[in-house]
Amino acid sequence: MAANILLVEDEPAIQELIAANLTRAGHTVLRAQDAEIATRIVRDALPDLVLLDWMLPGQSGIEFARRLRGEERTRNVPIIMLTARSEEHDKVLGLEIGADDYVTKPFSPRELMARIKAVLRRRAPQTTEDAVEMAGLRLDPVTHRISSGAQLINLGPTEFRLLHFLMTHAERVHSRAQLLDQVWGDHVFVEERTVDVHIRRLRSALEATNHDRLIQTVRGSGYRFSVEVMATGELE
């Protein structure tokens, strides 16, 4: 699936090359030449991943990464550092401030795409094209189909994204606010009870195959997708 990737790179030729490859791979690219522009972009909407050049005019990439990791809203955004620095202590510094990966220039577009895919699979699996299957329920992002055995389950686009996120983050409890940020986007302002409406629709669609019980309400906290309920018979 397409990811929204913020590319922070001040060299026009490198920025253009990376952006072209990202676009070709199906991603949406947001571009910034420095940390100031990147900050404004992040303020408007959280990206799924940040490709961040170490050496930037003004505030360095390291300082910008440290800021992202220091704020609650941006703490979990995956970061890949791009740099010509190849010394071990530089790599250690980049990883210590919270970067998820470190790519040394010059690099091939193919290597960068592989690194991006690996980080997204690990940190933001809902943005990948990998099919997810749990407790006999299968979700395929490529064909946009959900099935249980031979039976297809019809979901609206919002319920599909909601189920995809919950399945790729199984057993974790997510508040309504967190689900709004992850499924609707943190720049979309809707009431938290909207989540409840779509959870009810999702459960209703899953009733025919008895998978509605996988969507658990955790009172006072939010919702989680749990395969353990199928074995224990636990209800909300």
Identify the helix (H) or strand (E) that includes residue 104. strand 101-104
pLDDT value, residue 84: 81
Q: What is the structure's pLDDT at 235? A: 41
Does domain 132-232 correspond to CATH entry 1.20.200.10? no
pLDDT of residue 121: 86
Q: What is the pLDDT of residue 234?
A: 47
- Three-class secondary structure of residue 80 per DSSP: strand
Q: With a cut of 50, which residues of the chain have pLDDT below it?
A: 234-236
Q: List beta partners, residue 148.
A: 137, 151
Phi, psi for residue 187 in degrees, rounded to 5: -95, 0
Q: At what angle do helices 88-96 and 61-70 cross, to 10 degrees?
A: 30
pLDDT at 157: 92
pTM for the model stands at 0.69
In single-letter form, the type of residue at position 153 comes to: I
Architecture of the 4-127 domain? 3-Layer(aba) Sandwich (3.40)
Determine the pLDDT at residue 92.
74
For the chain, the domains span: 4-127, 132-232
